[in-house]
Amino acid sequence: MRRFWVGLIAAAAAGIGLAATGVLSPQNPPTAAAQAAALRPAQSLALPPPKAGRTRPLVAVAADNAGTETTDFIVPYGVLKESGVADVVALSTGAGPIALMPALTARADMTLAAFDAAQPAGADIVIVPALHDPDNEILRAWLRGQHDKGATIVAICEGAWVAAGAGLLDGKAATTHWHALEGIAQAYPGTAWVRDRRYVAEAGVMTTTGVSASIPASLALIEAIAGHDAAAATAGRLGVAAWAPAHKTAAFTLTAGRMGTAAWNWLAVWDHETVGVPVADGVDEIVLALTADAWSRTYRSSAIATQGTASVRSRRGLVLETTAETEPDRHHLALHGTPGSAIDAALAAIAARYGAATSNFVALQLEYPQR
């Protein structure tokens, strides 16, 4: 979120330069091999079999305690756990809570170091979300080590910065959040940065577009692991109709009107509020993440999970820290519906409270194709 805010003025002034071919055209073009890879038809993700001694893949969702994007971290964890086709573990760079951004706090199952000690062969799949500090060398080095051990690396949204910084995208086709495409293409010209695909798979690495791509990308992973029927069954339980990679990057642009909405909401400090999300053990962490994430991107509100105890365990096993409710009169959000309808429900509620322009600006940040 901070990267998005800092880039607002620069992006509005410079525009987002995308080539009609679907490959971003930075000042320093990608290598011929990377460009050729990007222009090939969309590929499905091919996964090697689980490592020796495993009956199904081991998926590690890695986080940095100092700041990890809420939806990028929680959604793949929840969706893959729901599927039952893989063993899923949440990891953090160090002990203690994970500060999720822009909302919520979670605790991992173990640290990276503890995982390495317990699983010397490494994970089969590693998921890396967007991080507050994408230059975190501890996580970069760990990703390189996991990749060298044969793990498939999945970078959600601006987790592409981490994967690129680790050298895992050189000579490959990749994508990321629409707002980051120009900057990352200039920083890493040896990668062919692709538009109009929600996720791109190339030689053992998968990347996705913005935040809301976490659900379709996770379902694509399930399909690669266990086949279409397993992915369809999971999608049905989550209320998700489809997970195809088709996407329209050009639908997401930073206009003067959207920039004005952001600036007004940010500057109107007298109208800011903290909204509470009452939770309990068994809360659907996917619905919670999508709801809290959306409400915390209005630039007028931030969402907190409230509960009488210090923490809850979600429906699929993630420990989430909570805050005692001290302001019962504050605006509270009700969690309802399925993961597939959570963003639409949040955007409708945001529009009702703050107006359609703010709801539209939140959808832009989430890179969510509005119906």
Burial of residue 351 (number of CB atoms within 10 Å: 0-12, 13-18, 19+)? middle
Cis before residue 26, ω within 30 degrees of 0?
A: no
CA angle 33-37-38, nearest 5°?
120
Could you read off the pLDDT of 232-275 as tens digits, one per residue?
999 999 999 999 999 999 999 999 999 999 999 999 988 899 99
**Choices 3.50.50.60, 3.40.50.2300, 3.30.200.20, 3.40.50.880: CATH for 18-238:** 3.40.50.880
The answer to whether the pTM exceeds 0.85 is yes
Helix axes 285-295, 339-354, angle to 10 degrees: 30
**pLDDT reported for residue 12:** 35
Q: Report the pLDDT averaged over residues 165-185.
A: 97
**pLDDT reported for residue 14:** 34
The tokens of 262 are what? 């952001």
In three-state secondary structure terms, 306 is strand
**pLDDT reported for residue 64:** 98
Q: Are 290 and 346 in contact (CB under 8 A)?
A: yes
Q: Is the pLDDT of residue 156 over 70?
A: yes
Could you read off the pLDDT of 25-65 as tens digits, one per residue?
444 556 666 666 666 655 567 899 999 999 999 999 999 99
CATH 3.40.50.880 boundaries in the chain = 18-238
- Of 3-17, 111-125, 216-230, 355-369, the least confident: 3-17
Spatial separation of the C-alpha atoms in residues 166 and 147, rounded to whole Å: 10
Q: Is the pLDDT of residue 103 over 80?
A: yes
| C-alpha distances in Å from residue 313, one per residue of 54, 108, 288, 325, 339 | 27, 12, 12, 18, 18
Q: Report the pLDDT averaged over residues 277-303.
A: 98
Could you read off the pLDDT of 181-203 as tens digits, one per residue?
999 999 999 999 999 999 999 98
DSSP single-letter state for residue 55: S
Q: Are 82 and 111 in contact (CB under 8 A)?
A: no
Number of H-type helices and E-type strands within the chain = 14, 16
What average pLDDT does the structure give for the chain? 91
Per-residue confidence band for 24, with pLDDT thresholds at 50, 70 and 90: low
Spatial separation of the C-alpha atoms in residues 163 and 144, rounded to whole Å: 9
